[in-house]
Amino acid sequence: MTREEARQKAKELVGRMTLEERAGQLRYDAPAIERLGIPAYNWWGESLHGVARAGMATVFPQAIGMAATFDEELLNKVGDCIATEGRAKYNAYSAHEDRDIYKGLTFWAPNVNIFRDPRWGRGHETYGEDPYLTSRLGVSYVKGLQGEGETMKAAACAKHFAVHSGPEALRHEFNAEATAKDMEETYLPAFEALVEEGQVEAVMGAYNRVNGEPCCGSKTLIQDTLRGKWNFKGHFVSDCWAIRDFHEHHMVTSSAAESAAMALNAGCDLNCGNTYLHVLNAYQQGLITEETITEAAVRLFTTRYLLGLFDANEYDAIPYETVECEAHLALARQAAEESIVLLKNDGILPLDPGKLKTIGVIGPNANSRKALIGNYHGTASRYITVAEGIQNYVKDQARVLCSEGCSLFEDRTESLAYAGDRLAEARIIAEHSDVVVLCMGLDETLEGEEGDTGNSYASGDKLDLQLPKCQRDLMQAVAETGKPVIFCLMAGSAIDLRYASERFNAVLQLWYPGAEGGRSAADVLFGEVSPSGKLPVTFYEDLAQFPEFTDYHMEGRTYRYMEGKAQYPFGFGLTYGKVAVTAAEAAIGARDENGSGIPDVRIRVTVENQGDFDTDDVVQLYIKCRDCEYAPKNPALCAFRRVHVRAKETLETELTVRAKAFTVVKEDGERIRGGSRYDIYAGTMQPDARSSELTGMEPVKVEVIF
C-alpha cells in the first residue's frame, strides 16, 4: 500500500469519527472505537537493541556497541530481526486481545542524538559522536525494521529531535543553545538522513528547548525543518510527558490546554503523556481548530494502515517461535563479537586454554546480567555472563576461580562487613591464577536516563571519567599481585583507562554486549574470532579542558573539533591480525550523478593483512578540505567498510565518498560547496598522531582536486 493510498483510507475512517473520538486517538494509549471496528492501540514500543519491555526477546548489544561494529549490513539485519520478533509478538498478543503498552508495532528507536559529551548518561543509547556514522547506521537500522514489502513491517522512530544530549537532571527545563553552524553540521544530519533516505515513519521530539523553543512545540524544528525542508510525511510524537513541561518547567505556557495547543499547532500528532486530554478544552477556548485535530488523527491512522493493522498482510503468518530463535541468537552473538574493541594487547591475547591451569575471573561485572544489557532492554530466556562464557569455553581444560572483588559502586558488598570486604578474596584468586580476567565498568544504574532505572547519582549522568573508587581500589589490589591481567570494561561511554593501560597486559572494551555477550567475549579472549570493533566515541585523557556540560557549542568536543591528544581515539581498535591500507586511488564521478552538481568520488583501496591471524577490520576514509575556512578543524569520517582479510592476504575494495562530504557549513548554517582541494585519508583508523602512535601505522593520503 502506498502512503497516498493509506492516507486516503485514513481520511475516510477519521471522517466517520466525532471530534471527541479524533481527539482521543492522539493519545499514546489510543482507546478502541467499537462502533467503527477500531481496536485499542498503544503506540509506545521500544526496540533500541531488541524488542524491549514486552517479555522474551533476543537481546542484542546496546546501541553504542552495535555502533562499534561500523557494519551497516549488520544493523540492517538486526532491524529486520527485531521487526520479525515484534510481528510475532504482536500477532500472538492480538490474538489474545492483549493490546497493552510495548506490544504494538511502533517502535521508538533508533536514538540518533550525537554523543557530544562523555558525561551524558544516555549516550550508550546512541551510535556515538559522529553524525556520518550515526546517519549510515541509523538509516540501515530503519530500513531493516520497516522492511521493503507492500506492508510496513514495523514503524521506526528517529529520536530525540533535536539537540539532546544532557544534562539529564535539567532536561525538563533546559534550553540547549546551538549555533546555526552546529545545528547543520552536527545535530541535524542524522535526522535528515533518516527522513530523506530511510523514510522513517516517526520522529520524536526531545524534552528540552532549542534556542528558546520547546522541541515538541517548535515551529522551527517541526514545521520549517522537518515537514518543510525535509518533506517528512510520517507522524510526530512527543517524548513522554514532555508537553507537560511546557507549563510546569519551561514556563512558555500557563496551562495544560495552552501546552496541548502549542504542540498540536506546531505539528506534534501524538502525545506520550496525558496533556492531550486537554485538546478539547483547547478547542473550546479557540486555541486550536478542528482541522488541526483531524490532520493529526489522519497522520496517525495513515501509519496504522501502512502497518496493515486493518487488513490481512504478509506478516500475519509470522509465528511466535521466531522469538529468540537460534538464527536470531546467532546474529546477536555476531553483533557482540564485532562490537568488542581491543584497545591494548602486549601479546597475551588470544589466550591458549591448553597452557593455563587456572584462570581468575574477577570484578563486579564478571558475573553480572545487568552489565550485559544496558537500558531499554528486553528479557532473554538465558543470559551468558563473561564468567559463564569463560567457564563454558574452557570446560575441563582449566580451573576458573571467581570473585566479585567489590561492589559496583559501594564500598562493601555486605552491609555488616568492613569496607573493601572482597579485596582479600580477589588478591587470593589472582595469586592462585595463571592469568586474571578483570571485569569492571558500569551498568544502567550508573549511566542512564533520568528517573528511568533508579540511577544512583546525577540523574544518570556521570560526574567524571573515573570508575567508582571501590573499583579503582580493586584494580590496584589485583595489579599488586604481579599476575598477567586482561582488563575488560563493560560500560557505554568513555572511561579514564590510564591505569589499566599502564598496568595491565590487555584492555578490551565490551560495552553492554547483550544476553549472549559472555559467549562472544570468551570467543574473542580465546581466539575463536579476532576482535574488530572500532571506537564510535573518543576516550579522553580527562575533562580538565573540556567545555561545560551545558555548553552545546561543538568547539573542543569530539574528534572533529578537539585540540588535545585522545587517550584512545574515535575509530581506533586493534585486531589479532595486522591490517593496513597500502594504496589508494580516487576516481571522480560524473557531476550530475547525484543531482547536486558535486561529484561523488570513488576510492579504490588496497588492504593487506600482514599478520598471522584471519580477521575482520574496518577500512575508514576521512576527509579534510584544504582551502575552505568553514571546514571542521580535523579530518572527518566520510566512508567506511568492514572487510574480512585472511592472514597474509591482500585484497582490493572500493568506497564511495558522497557529494555531501565535499560541502561545508557557513556560520549562518548555510551548507555550500567547499573548496577545490581535499585530502582523503584511507586506513583502518583516524589520521591523527595518537592513532598512528597506537597502531604503528599511517593512513594513505589521496589528493582530490576539482
Active site residues: 239
Backbone angles phi, psi at 85, to 5 degrees: -70, -35
**In this structure, are residues 515 and 382 in contact, taking their beta carbons and an 8 Å threshold?**
yes
Half-sphere exposure of 85 (CA within 13 A, CB side): 32
The three grid cell numbers given for residue 528, joined into one nine-digit string: 575463536
| Cα distances (angstroms) measured from residue 422 to each of 35, 148, 431, 538 | 64, 54, 14, 33
Pairwise CA distance, residues 308 & 314, whole Å: 9
Neighbours of 51 (CB within 10 A): 32
Joined together, the cell numbers standing for residue 337 give 563479537
Cell of 318: 509470522
Q: Look up residue 635 and give its three cell numbers.
A: 579530518
In the chain, how many H helices and how many E strands? 20, 23
CB atoms within 10 A of CB 547: 16
Comparing CA positions, the residue from 701, 520, 706, 513 lying closest to residue 627 is: 706
> Residue 617 contacts by C-beta under 8 Å, 6 or more apart in sequence?
532, 575, 577, 579, 607, 609, 642, 643, 645, 684
Taking a C-beta distance cutoff of 8 angstroms, is the pair 615, 575 a contact?
yes
Question: Cα(640)–Cα(656) distance, rounded to whole angstroms?
Answer: 9
What's the gap between Cα 411 and its chain centre?
Answer: 32
CB 539 within 8 A of CB 567: yes
CA atoms 7, 8, 11, 16: torsion sign = negative
Q: How far is CA 2 from the centre of its chain?
A: 30
Cα separation of 276 and 297, whole Å?
12
Q: How does strand 485-490 pair with strand 506-509?
A: parallel
Going by their DSSP bridges, the two strands 636-645 and 341-345 should be labelled as unpaired
The DSSP-derived string for 114-133 is ----TT-TTGGGSS-S-HHH
- CA distances to 48, 228, 327, 411, 612 from 232, rounded to whole Å, are 22, 7, 35, 51, 50
Burial of 188 (C-beta count, 10 Å sphere; 0-12/13-18/19+): buried
What is the chain's length? Answer: 706
Tell me the backbone φ, ψ of residue 159, rounded to 5 degrees: -135, 160
- CA distances to 60, 63, 374, 430, 584 from 49, rounded to whole Å, are 5, 6, 9, 35, 36
Q: In angstroms, rounded to a whole number, what is the distance separating the alpha carbons of residues 128 and 623?
A: 19
The one-letter amino acid code at 613 reads: F
Query: In one letter, which amino acid is 377?
Result: H
Q: What are phi and psi of 373, to 5 degrees?
A: -110, -20
